Amino acid sequence: MTFSAVREMVYDPTLMREEVATRSTAKSLQKLTPAAPAGSFDYKNLPRRKLADEEQELYFPLASAQFDKAFNAANPRWLSPDCHRSQYGYPFRVGLQLTLENPHRSVTLVSLACTGSEVTEGLFLEKKAREGAGNAMVRSQLDQLADLICKTPASRTQRATYNLPTYASGSVQVANTQVTKSWCAPSERKRPIDTLLLSIGGNDVGFSPLMVYAMTESAGDLAPIANLLGKQIRFSPQVSRAYLEQLDERMVALRDALRDGFGVPPAKVLQTAYEPIQFDETGALCGAQPTLGLDVHKKLVLSRERLGETVSFLNDFFARTACITNGRSGGCPALATGAGTGFQLITDHQPEFAKRGLCARDPKRPQADGEAMAMPRRWIGKEEFTPYSPAAYLPYASRWRLFRTPNDAFLTANVHATGFTQFDILQPVYAAMYSGAVHPTAEGHAIVADHVVRHVRATVGKAPPGGGR
C-alpha cells in the first residue's frame, strides 16, 4: 500500500467536503477543528492512500464516483486473495532453504495454508474465502491435498468418517459432527509425503477474538463489524476454555485423516508451537503503555488485566497442545489422543520471541522506537505528519517487535469493508484488525523457519556437507 505524504483521510461521513480531504494548511486545520488545542490530534484523521487524483494534481470530491473508483483502484493486491497466503511465511522459507543448500536436492513445496483455518473449517471442511465476491468458498485443505496426491479424481474410492466437535464462534454449544472423506488407495497415490508442516489450533480456540478481548472494553464497540462478518470477533478466555476441551478430539481426527488419506506417519508431521506474544523488551507483560501501537482508533486500548487473563489461558493452551502431541509428559489429563498424536511439536523457537512481543521496543532506543510505533498523523498546528510520513512506512523493515501491531496492519494493507461507507469511523478498526495484526512479522517467520528447517533435515535426511542453519 502506498500512502500520500500530503493528504489525509477523515473518517467522518458528516464532513465529506473537499477541504477535509486536502487540509493543506494549518489554517484550514484550525478552521475545521477549532476546539482542538495545538499539540494534539483528532483520532478521525488518519493517513490516506495515494490516489489517482493526487498523482494527476486534481481533487476528487469525497462523495463522488471518481473518488470511490480511485480509492478502490488503490486496494491491496493479494497473491492469494482467497487465503492471504504469504510467501514470507515460514513454510516457504523452509522450502527455499532446503533447495538452496543442496543443488542435488529436489524440493516440491505445496502450501495449502489459509488464514483463519481451523481443523474443522479449513482442513476438513470448506471455509469462506478471505476475498472474493458473494459467498466465495475455499475447498478444504485435505481435499486439495488429495487431489494433488491421487493419480486421478476417480481413484478416490476409499471412504472414512471422522468425528469433529463443532461450534459457532462465541457459542459454547458443542455438536458432534460426522465428516466423511474420500481417499485413494496407497497404490493410487502419486508419491509419498516426506514431511508435513503443521500450524493449527490457535483459531480452533479463538486466538483472534481473545486478542480483540484484550484490546477493547466491550463487544458492543465492534458490533457492526461482527455483524458484517457474521460471527463474534470478541470473547473472553472462558469461552476459549470450552473450545480447548474439544481440541484433542479434533487433533485425533486430523492424525487419522493424514494416516488414512496420505499414509503420513505421525513422526513426519512437524507441528510448530505458537510464539509468545505478550512480552515487552524487558520481559514484562505488555500493557504498561496501553495505546502503544494501537492509536489507530481510540477504542483500541490494551488492558493489562484482560491481557493477563488471556495469557493465563494461552499458557494452558500451550501445555494442552504439548499433552495432545505427547500424552506421556507429566501432568497431562486423560485426552482423546491417549498417548498423543505422535506429531513432533517444535518449541525451540519460542525463547527468541520472549522479549520481542507486540509492545516490545528496541532496548537500545526504547523512547525513539516507542514514538515510531505511533500512527502518523498531522497534528493540530503542524503541516507535516508526525512522527513520520506515512509515505515512508516500510511494512517489511526490520523491527525489534516480531508481531504486527494494529497500526502496522492499517499501514500495511489498509483494507476497508464494503458493508459501510469508506469514511465510517469503524473502517480504521476493520483495517487494523484484518490485515495480519497480532501475527508474526516476516522477520518472525524467518526466525521460525531457521528452527523448523533443522527438524525437517532430521526428518528427510542428513544435512549437506558443511552443514547450514
pLDDT, tens only, 240-260: 999 999 999 999 999 999 999
- Residue pair 340/320 in contact by the 8 Å Cβ criterion: no
Burial call 282-299: b when 16+ CB within 10 Å, e when fewer = eeebbbeebbbbbbbbeb
Count other Cβ atoms within 10 Å, centred on residue 338: 11
Q: 201 in the Ramachandran plot: left (φ > 0), alpha (ψ -120 to 50) or beta?
A: left
Share of the chain above pLDDT 90, in %: 78
Report how far residue 177's alpha carbon sits from residue 319's, in angstroms, rounded to the nearest whole number: 26
Place of cell 485413494: 184
The pTM of the full predicted model, rounded to 2 decimals, is: 0.91
118 phi, psi to nearest 5 deg: -115, 175
- Bridge partners (DSSP) of residue 158 are 183
- Would the pLDDT of 459 be above 80? yes
Q: How high is the pLDDT of residue 28?
A: 41
- Residue pair 286/304 in contact by the 8 Å Cβ criterion: yes
- Residue pair 344/377 in contact by the 8 Å Cβ criterion: no
Report how far residue 371's alpha carbon sits from residue 379's, in angstroms, rounded to the nearest whole number: 14
Q: Which three cell numbers stand for residue 348?
A: 525451540
Q: How high is the pLDDT of residue 222?
A: 77
Reported as a single tens digit per residue, the pLDDT across 368-414 is 999 999 999 998 888 899 999 999 999 999 999 999 999 999 999 99
Report how far residue 426's alpha carbon sits from residue 232's, in angstroms, rounded to the nearest whole number: 16
Report how far residue 429's alpha carbon sits from residue 224's, in angstroms, rounded to the nearest whole number: 11
Q: Which three cell numbers stand for residue 416?
A: 476497508
Identify the band that residue 229 occupies on the pLDDT scale cut at 50, 70 and 90: low
- Residue pair 222/235 in contact by the 8 Å Cβ criterion: no
CA-to-CA dists, residue 78 to 32, 82, 433, angstroms: 37, 9, 17
Nearest-CA neighbor of 373 among 285, 304, 444, 286?
Answer: 286
CA-to-CA dists, residue 126 to 135, 198, 200, 235, angstroms: 12, 18, 16, 24
Q: How high is the pLDDT of residue 25?
A: 37
Q: How high is the pLDDT of residue 133?
A: 65
CA-to-CA dists, residue 344 to 54, 265, 442, angstroms: 53, 11, 24
- Would the pLDDT of 232 be above 80? no
Reported as a single tens digit per residue, the pLDDT across 205-217 is 999 999 999 999 8
Report how far residue 422's alpha carbon sits from residue 68's, in angstroms, rounded to the nearest whole number: 8
166 phi, psi to nearest 5 deg: -130, 155
Nearest-CA neighbor of 28 among 52, 3, 45?
Answer: 45
Q: How high is the pLDDT of residue 37?
A: 59
Q: How high is the pLDDT of residue 434?
A: 80
Q: How high is the pLDDT of residue 462?
A: 52
